[in-house]
Structure 1
């Protein structure tokens, strides 16, 4: 299996509101994997196991009070202009800022479905909920994102 660090980092950044916190969570997950790497490699789908470890670590990090104190308010983020020469980077930053405005469960479901392209059953397993809850969270999250996009620029959305 190819090293999964960059994919874990991308997923963590989308699930969390802070890039540094995402780095900490990924580092914790990878450190935990070292001791049991031979068992993880022997699994049928080690990638799914690592994703599960990451989602669990994200959930755990949200319960730590010292981590919650440092989350940034999305309203404090700088405005991105449409004519930004950074192009795709500016659009990605804009979408990440919009994702950060979603409730945790909705953001997690949308990221796992849209960005990671996981099926409902696997998302439900990762989030420890039913497939109906996954579909509901994805539906509500996408509806909220559409509304936020329309509020930003009524002609674009």
Structure 2
């Protein structure tokens, strides 16, 4: 039986975890599966985990990497999870393009960008979550942003040529 603290944590943080998982997986269904499997893993020892968010971020990145290695390929959903209010059409289009291009990045690079810029973690927190050095986070973030910019610009050029 889950503790009251665990249930409260899930009520408060589930949407945030789901958004992070969506950015890591690119699919609503896979994001839900990822969050659920990681929550099930932490549930028995939730009271002993000092800060569950970093633990869960790390668990989601590790689980996603394991799934990716097993499947090697996954379909990307065009619709992100719903937020608190409706998004304007332009913002939706831009976000969809960003998520689609994010899915084309290597797993580690994607994880760095999601944790660093979506979750707004510091370089040190991102490094701790991924089990790597701060220098690796810096280089992966720099390369990832440059690659993402290039992919988005190429996509804009292709769309404007149509």
- How far 1:17 moved relative to its partner? 3.1
- Within a 5 Å distance, the mapping from 1:8-157 to structure 2 comes to 8-40=17-49, 43=50, 45-64=51-70, 67-68=71-72, 71-72=74-75, 86-154=89-157
Kindly indicate which of the two structures has a greater share of residues assigned to helix: 2
* Separation in 1, partners of 2:140, 2:93: 26
TM-score by length of 1: 0.78
Please state how far the C-alpha of 1:23 moved relative to its aligned partner. Answer: 1.2
Cα offset for 1:8? 1.0
**Cα distance change on mapping 1:87 and 1:29 into 2, 3 Å:** same
User: TM-score, normalising length from structure 2?
Assistant: 0.76
Structure 1 residue runs of 4 or more that deviate by more than 6 Å after TM superposition: none
Provide the C-alpha distance between the structure 1 equivalents of 2:91 and 2:59, rounded to a whole number of angstroms: 30
SS at structure 2 position matched to 1:36? helix
Q: Is the Cα contact below 8 Å between 2:112 and 2:126 reproduced in 1?
A: yes
Equivalenced residues, count: 139
- Unaligned 5+ runs, structure 2: 1-7, 79-87, 158-162
Structure 1 unaligned blocks of 5 or more:
78-84
What is the RMSD of the two structures over their aligned residues, measured on CA atoms?
2.1
Contact kept, 8 Å, 2:18 with 2:32, in 1: the verdict is: yes
